[in-house]
Amino acid sequence: MNQKRSALIQARKVKGFTQEKLAFSAGITRAYLANIERGEHDPSLKVAQKLACILDRDTDELFFEDDVRKTNIRYLGDSSTG
C-alpha cells in the first residue's frame, strides 16, 4: 500500500472513525472512500479538503507522498531560481 493511502487510513483510525462514519461526515459514499483508501481513485480537491479537515490533518500529509513534499520544499527553498 502506498504511503499516502496508509496515512489516510491511519488518521481515520486514530480519530476513531469507521469508513462509514468518515464517509458520511465528508458527504461521500463508503465505497468511494474505500476506493480512495485502496488507491483506486484520487479524491477531488473538495473531498480531500473535507477529509483533511475532519481528520485534523493537512491535505499534503494525507494525499502527497513524502518524496513529493520534500521535492516541493527543496524547490521552494532554492533562492537561485527566482
pLDDT truncated to tens, each residue of the chain (82 aa)?
A: 455 578 999 999 999 999 999 999 999 999 999 999 999 999 999 999 999 999 999 998 898 766 544 445 455 555 555 5
Alpha-carbon span 33 to 39, nearest angstrom: 10
Nearest to 46 by CA among 27, 64, 65: 27
pTM of this structure: 0.75
State residue 67 phi and psi, 5-degree precision: -65, -35
Residue pointed to by grid coordinates 496508509: 6
CATH number of 3-81: 1.10.260.40
